Amino acid sequence: MYLLRLALKSLGNRRFSALLTIVAIGLSVTLLLGVEKVRTEARASFASTISGTDLIVGARSGSVQLLLYSVFRIGNATNNVRWESFEHFAEHPRVDWAIPLSLGDSHRGFMVLGTNLDYFDHFRYGRSQKLQLRTGEPFNDLYDAVLGADVARELGYRLDKELVLAHGTGAVSFVDHADKPFRVSGILEKTGTPVDRTIHISLEGMQAIHVDWQQGMPARGTARVDAEQARSLDLRPKAITAMLLGLTNRISTFAVQRDINQYAGEPLLAILPGVALQELWSLLGVAERALFIVSGFVVLTGLVGMLTAILSSLNERRREMAILRSVGAKPRHIFGLLLLEAASLALAGILLGLGLMYAGLWLAQPLILSQYGLFVPITPPGLYEWSLLGAILLASILMGSVPAWRAYRQSLADGLSIRT
């Protein structure tokens, strides 16, 4: 206890360099904890992009690709699913509900999703949360659109705003559907998922804007069908991009999956969202681990800074050591003194880091939520965080034993003679 008092007072005597060391360690600890926090929350948020869906079905391709375009709206489908196939599986005895998804158009960089009203009833995200309308209502009319929260916010759209969809999914499109504008009928609450960046229209609306198209180009002259004429046509879609299935009983998931994968009508692929998410995360995991390793090295740098500070102080402290030896301190006391010094610096750095991390989180929390749709809760450090911090403390003690050992050797050699 007395040694600890001596160590702290000795540090206090060199408070400027001690403070710098503590700040360096503190900042590195903040970085490490912050990265860990965002990492775990991003992972949790990623896993909660879709929930409650038992199977995702699309044209036969890779499971990650299917997940990417159907859930994350990234990339394109290689092929479509025939409407008959959708009807076939929607009426499958073990299927409770089926949501058709039709992609391919966009509006100012936001994806347009053609679907039906089941989407608003059965689609779930996060912890089985249902989509909520902040204002307006789901599409009723052929040319109604429901906007995700980010679409409305970024484009500044309100109810009844008219919008023209563009053909294709690029941010800039040269071919648009100006003849059949849509009207905003509802805006969804923020979900923190790709739904926020999606414009939802009915499948029939999707069909209507393409009804007079031939070979991927709009019709010309008399072949054109205007918006009102389109209403009288048969707007049953011919194909969709993918479908989400909810089953009556989750136990039958694998049986239904097998039925779909062996469907004779056309080659289809059914995937379990959880498994595909895992697969995708393991791809992203490399970057995530790299981030962790980098922040680990930053902590190491902070500790090396501490090591340097203590080591460089040793020479000018030979007098201090000799005085301590002359009043009866044993070499092991000198060793302990320096070890306690390192541990105190690291502990102060860790506490500072924790404080900074929580202060930063408190300040940045609303910003992260609004910018990235990621809610990072302020929770006390868990077992994982404590073990990380414990490892840092342990590492600092191990590193502190280097100057401690040097001082030990030095005090053995110097004895009671004062060398400065």
Partner 1 sequence: MSQALIHLDAITYSWPGQPVLLDIPAFSLQAGEKVFLKGPSGSGKTTLLGLLGGVYLPDRGAIQLLGQNLARLSSVKRDRFRADHTGYIFQMFNLLPYLSVVDNVTLPCHFSRVRRERALARHADLAIAALDLLSRLGLSEESLLNRSVTALSIGQQQRVAAARALIGNPELVIADEPTSALDADSREAFLRLLFAECDLAGSSLLFVSHDSSLEPLFDRALSLRDINRAAAMQESI
- What is the distance between the alpha carbons of residues 71 and 230, in angstroms, rounded to a whole number? 30
* 267 near partner 1, judged by CB under 8 A: no
Name 357's Cβ contacts closer than 8 Å, sequence gap at least 6. Answer: 29, 30, 33, 34, 37
**Choice from 52, 331, 360, 381 touching partner 1 (CB under 8 A):** 331
- Total of chain residues touching partner 1, rule CB under 8 A: 23
**Choice from 208, 325, 345, 373 touching partner 1 (CB under 8 A):** 325
Identify which of residues 221 and 328 has a Cβ nearer to partner 1 in the complex.
328
CB of 386 to partner 1, least distance (A): 32
- What is the distance between the alpha carbons of residues 85 and 83, in angstroms, rounded to a whole number? 5
Sign for the pseudo-dihedral over CA of 59, 251, 98, 190: negative
Strands 144-147 and 182-188: parallel
Identify which of residues 224 and 419 has a Cβ nearer to partner 1 in the complex.
419
Query: Are the C-beta atoms of 247 and 253 separated by less than 8 Å?
Result: yes
CB of 401 to partner 1, least distance (A): 20
Pick from 406, 402, 399: nearest CA to 299: 399
* 16 near partner 1, judged by CB under 8 A: no
Residues linked to residue 188 through DSSP beta bridges, in sequence order: 133
CB of 316 to partner 1, least distance (A): 11
* 327 near partner 1, judged by CB under 8 A: yes
Eight-state DSSP code of residue 58: E
The interface region with partner 1, picked from 142-150, 294-302, 319-327, 365-373 by CB under 8 A, is 319-327
* 320 near partner 1, judged by CB under 8 A: yes
CB of 319 to partner 1, least distance (A): 6
* 323 near partner 1, judged by CB under 8 A: yes
* 316 near partner 1, judged by CB under 8 A: no
* 405 near partner 1, judged by CB under 8 A: no
Q: Supply 314's token pair.
A: 């040793």
Q: Supply 113's token pair.
A: 């999703």
CB of 25 to partner 1, least distance (A): 22
CB of 329 to partner 1, least distance (A): 5
* 417 near partner 1, judged by CB under 8 A: yes
DSSP 140-208: -STTEEEE-HHHHHHHT--TT-EE--EESSSSS-S-B-TTS-EEEEEEEPP-SSGGGGEEEEEHHHHHH
* Residues of the shown chain interacting with partner 1 in the complex, contacts defined by CB under 8 A: 2, 6, 9-10, 12-13, 319-320, 322-331, 333, 415-418
